[in-house]
Amino acid sequence: MAFEIIGTGRAVPPKKVSNNDLAAQIDTSDEWIRSHTGIGSRHYAEDTVACSDLGIEAALNAMAMAAGYTGENPAERDKAAAEIAPTIDIIILATATADYYGTPSTACIVQDKIGAKSAAAMDITAGCTGFVYGLETAAGLLAVNPERKRALVIGAEVLSKLMNWDDRGTCVLFGDGAGAVVLEKTNAENKGILKTLLYADGSGNESLLMRRGGTRNPFKKGEVIDTGICVEMNGQEVYNFAVGAISTTITALMESPVEGLGNITVENISWIVPHQANARIVQAARRRLRIPEEKFYMNIEEYANTSSATIPIALDEMNRSGKLKKGDLVLTVGFGGGLTYGGNIIIW
């Protein structure tokens, strides 16, 4: 049994905000952001756009590709996606920036809008590792029931709406976007998602969190609220955790033989697709692991950190530009709030 990616898609809001654009609003500079993170710009959703809107667009693009359409015509895209919609059994949407708090899940909103009437739908909260967790969850749900054949896995975020603009060490890092894949259960051998490792270290839960609004810290009647729910982060703690998380995950993925593939060496790997949080984090881990720079796919310069969406956006960019070839061995590695981390080994 194999779990193959048969379609990829992404959706990035057209509004591009450069470091200099931000520097005109808050006390920062292009030089600081680039030198500390490798970020050059990010894309922000319009006020009317929520998480599900980006998730739906990414999903439709992935579904259309699964139906054989990769063109730019919206009507043709939707027609192709509609062919696939009734065949989707599961929708898993990873996000930290859901349309609504708690319920309904953003996945249910996507399910309705894309017409996936037979699909079960749920969200995953695993911070920036959400897509890595989502692939394994979807594969597991496909594996246990012979009647389930296809899953849609989405990472979608509108982080720009949950920033504290007075916290310049955090707000410059994040952007909006979504990526999606269609996963199909097949009888192929040595293809698709071969192995996934998932980890959590909840002792670091306060290093990256949204403190307000939940049952730990609910809003109180009469309380004057001048800062909305926002991402709070201890940058140094997250940095140190992240370098270790990448190193541990890649080492562990390569440590034990993979069924059908044997031992994985750096030479076998076509691409490592890391979560795009900070180019310096990836560099530090890369040096520690002694893996050449060209094995890592990076696009943080354009999009900044789109949390659960960075890996599927990267996969779609690589897929559509022809960088990913059939048979390529791809390692993903994610890390983020929770704290969570993990990675997948995929034969493309």
Q: Name the residues annotated as catalytic.
A: 128, 275, 305
Show the binding pattern over residues 185-224: x = contacts ligand COA (CB under 6 A), - = does not.
----------------------------------------
Q: Pick out residues in 21-60 that bind ligand COA (CB under 6 A).
A: 28-29, 32-33, 36-37
In this chain, which residue has its C-beta nearest to ligand COA?
A: 235
Tell whether residue 272 is a contact of ligand COA (CB under 6 A). Answer: no
What stretches of the chain show up as alpha helix (H) in DSSP? Answer: 19-23, 30-37, 51-66, 74-84, 106-114, 130-144, 168-171, 235-255, 279-289, 300-303, 310-320
Query: Residue 93 or residue 300: which is nearer to ligand COA going by CB?
Result: 300
Nearer to ligand COA, 234 or 270 (CB): 234
In angstroms, what is the minimal distance from the CB of 34 to ligand COA?
11
Per CB under 6 A, 319 contacts ligand COA: no
- Answer whether 5's CB lies under 8 Å from 348's CB: yes
- 309: region left, alpha or beta (phi > 0 left; psi from -120 to 50 alpha): alpha
**How many angstroms separate the CA atoms of 14 and 318, rounded?**
19
- Alpha carbon separation from 235 to 44, 68, 169, 201, 203 (Å, rounded): 22, 43, 7, 17, 16
Residue among 215, 251, 207, 214 at smallest CA distance from 232: 207
Q: Which SS3 state, helix, strand or coil, does residue 292 take?
A: coil
Which residue stretch of 2-10, 78-86, 186-194, 232-240 sits at the interface with ligand COA (rule: CB under 6 A)? Answer: 232-240
Minimum CB–partner distance for residue 203 and ligand COA (Å) = 16
Among 9, 192, 336, 338, binds ligand COA (CB under 6 A): 336
If the CB atoms of residues 36 and 113 are measured against ligand COA, the closer one turns out to be 36
Q: What angle do CA 276, 281, 284 make, to 5 degrees?
A: 135
**How far apart are the C-alpha atoms of 94 and 104, rounded to whole Å?**
14
Number of residues counted as binding ligand COA (CB under 6 A): 23
Bridge partners of residue 283, in order along the sequence: none
Nearer to ligand COA, 153 or 277 (CB): 277
Taking the least distance from each CB to ligand COA, the nearer of 10 and 275 is 275
Residues in 141-160 that interact with ligand COA by CB under 6 A: none
CA-based nearest residue to 126, from 94, 87, 160:
94
Residue 64 as a binder of ligand COA (CB under 6 A): the answer is: no
CA gap 271, 158 in Å, rounded: 27
- Give the footprint of ligand COA on this chain (CB under 6 A): 28-29, 32-33, 36-37, 128, 168-169, 172-173, 233, 235-236, 238-239, 242, 277-278, 281, 305, 335-336
